[in-house]
Amino acid sequence: MVIYGVALMSGCMIVGTFLGYLIGDLVGIDANVGGVGIAMLLLVILSKRLMDRDQLSKLAQNGIAFWSAMYIPIVVAMASIQNVVAAFSAGALAFIAGLGSVFAGFLLIRPIAALSRNGSAEDAPGEASGEVSGGVK
């Protein structure tokens, strides 16, 4: 299961890295600017399109799901380490701005969770009317 979907993910990473360095060159920075994010977006878009057209086997879908679950937390952890180092070296304002965005994210957890609960009641038939799983009230 693990090896399925790796070719698609690798292709997206190569294209994303190339585009990230291209954007960096256009902006005048000798670095990859957003390449990993571009790769992740490509992976989501391509895998969704392939799934909609039934061109991805179930094993490939499971492999992509596995690598997505492994890939995103690792990338976020790597990016957060770089951002903390940059914030400390850039001064207090960058560090305070980073803390502010994290605090804002914490404040948004409850409203987003409430939206999720509201949407799940509509998705599950019978639960909104009080039916129990066996069809008995």
Predicted TM-score (pTM) of this structure: 0.54
User: How confident is the model over 9-56, as pLDDT tens digits?
Assistant: 888 889 988 998 898 888 887 778 888 888 888 888 888 888 888 888
Query: What's the CA gap between 91 and 41, in Å, rounded?
Result: 32
- 106 Cβ contact partners less than 8 Å away, ≥ 6 residues apart: none
Confidence at residue 112, expressed as pLDDT on a 0 to 100 scale: 85
Secondary structure (3-state) at 31: coil
User: How confident is the model over 50-105, as pLDDT tens digits?
Assistant: 888 888 888 888 888 887 777 767 766 766 666 566 666 767 776 777 788 889 98
Query: What's the CA gap between 115 and 111, in Å, rounded?
Result: 6
Query: In the chain, which ranges are continuous DSSP H helix?
Result: 6-27, 35-52, 58-90, 92-123
Confidence at residue 15, expressed as pLDDT on a 0 to 100 scale: 93
